[in-house]
Amino acid sequence: MPHYMLLLHEQPSDFSGLSPEAIEAVINEYVAWSAKLASENRLVGGEKLRDEGGKHLRGFGEEFRVTDGPYTEAKEIVGGFYTIDAADYSEAAEVASGCPHLKYGGWIEMREIEQMS
């Protein structure tokens, strides 16, 4: 079955106004959704990415350069990802529509993972 990566985009300030209790409630929704996917044997993996830090690597022929980024001033960041099993994009979209990320103003970039053999 094909794997699909769900990249969770958000604006850096989406959760900044929430109390610690509200943030915990949001996290619990993501954990519950992950558990549901796992119980359906759809979850391949997924993690939340740290809000701060990160690096960009750019290639220049045989050379590469490492710079800081993304920055919190960015209009949007990738806050996390899931990898799921689905028969096709239609089924993957149906599964992804239940992700709590959509409820909180984020958007999901969905990409099929091409198998490297």
User: pLDDT tens digit string along 28-75?
Assistant: 999 999 999 999 999 999 999 988 778 889 999 999 999 887 765 667
Residue partners of 23: CB distance under 8 A and separation at least 6: 15
pLDDT at 69: 75
Task: Supply the pLDDT for residue 53.
Answer: 79
Q: Which residue, among 40, 43, 33, 41, has the nearest Cα to 4 in the 3D structure? A: 43
Length of the chain: 117
CA–CA distances in Å: residue 39 to residues 2, 28, 34, 35: 18, 16, 9, 6
Q: Average pLDDT of the chain? A: 91
**pLDDT tens-place string over residues 91-101:** 999 999 999 99
pTM of the complete model: 0.86
Q: What is the pLDDT of residue 11?
A: 84
